[in-house]
Structure 1
Amino acid sequence: MNIGREPPANDDAAPVEMLAQLFEAHGWPCEFVSEDEISGEIQGSWTTYQMRGIWRAEDRVLQLLCLPEIRVPDAKRADAFELLGLINEQLWIGHFDIWSQGGVLLYRHGMMLGDDGLLGLSMAQAAVETAVSECDRFYPAFQFVLWGDKAPKDALLAAMVDAAGEA
């Protein structure tokens, strides 16, 4: 998946700065929340995702959060957690989670960077595209569980069949 225009081929940069360059190159709206955090919006196949990049210099870890604007109601938490478990078993990179405060669904991926703490453009592009792709891939399963009253296993199966049928 390649979202929008190709960003310019810049050298490695500080992680939040590189994400800002990537967002700007694609025309995605973004803003610096702080020196170590950026927030932006990316249009996916199903919805607009809020993408956040948070840099922890002391650990040299960039955490990417992709939020598909889904809140899990208390009455659906058990089914949503069962679905999360089934989905997370299939992921090689990152995982889905539900924040305990507010029931917000999110995809989270932590990237350990080298001693220099710099992020390359191709790695930034791949990480952002993976986050959006995984959110798009499993968005229907969450919809089936939260609003379609499907059992988690059935919802995942239905979402995977639908995704496999798209061209």
Structure 2
Amino acid sequence: MELLELEFSREIHPVDVIEQVAHNNDWSFERAGDDEISISVAGSWTDYHVSFSWMEDFEALHLACAFDIKVPEARALEVMRLLSLINEQMLFGHFDLWEQEGAIMFRQ
């Protein structure tokens, strides 16, 4: 069996598409380079900080979203158990507790 390599040509970079969406919704964003963008979105109950990174070698778009929710150190174990139960039900992506910041994140 032979591995087939496909060549793709794009008219627009995937991160450029995300930038257009952010611009059209008046969300603040920052481009760290051609392959990265960070967006801040104010929600009704918390703020969302979303980062997208295009990985050319894998033809994949990595997404990470941090919520402005701080988990008290005394509740960290309880929250990690809850996130584990939630992650069991997820088909794609997972939730993490970013221990340094005490923040909950979603990664895809």
Task: Give the shorter-chain TM-score range.
Answer: 0.7 to 0.9
Tell me the residue number matched to 2:25: 26
Task: Kindly indicate whether structure 1 or structure 2 has the higher relative contact order, using CA contacts under 8 Å at least 6 residues apart.
Answer: 1
Q: Please list the CA deviations of residues 79-119 of structure 1 after superposition, one character each: whole Å capped at 9, or x if unmatched.
A: 1110101222232332111224333311111xxxxxxxxxx
Distance 1:71 1:57 in 2: 33
Q: How does 1:66-105 map to 2 (within 5 A)?
A: 66-105=65-104
Scaled by the length of structure 2, the TM-score of the pair is 0.77
Counterpart residue identity of residue 103, structure 1: G
Tell me the residue number matched to 2:4: none
Tell me the residue number matched to 1:13: 12
More strand as a share of residues: 2
Give the deviation of 1:76 after TM superposition.
1.9
Distance 1:101 1:13 in 2: 36
Tell me the residue number matched to 2:47: 48
Distance 2:47 2:102 in 1: 18
Distance 2:60 2:50 in 1: 16
- Cα root mean square deviation, aligned: 2.0
Show structure 1 runs of 5+ residues with no match. 1-10, 110-167
Counterpart residue identity of residue 42, structure 1: V
Contact 1:53–1:63 (8 Å) recurs in 2? yes
Distance 1:81 1:103 in 2: 11
Tell me the residue number matched to 1:106: 105
Tell me the residue number matched to 1:61: 60
Provide the aligned length of Structure 1 versus Structure 2.
99
Show structure 2 runs of 5+ residues with no match. 1-9
Identity percentage over the alignment?
Answer: 37
Tell me the residue number matched to 2:3: none
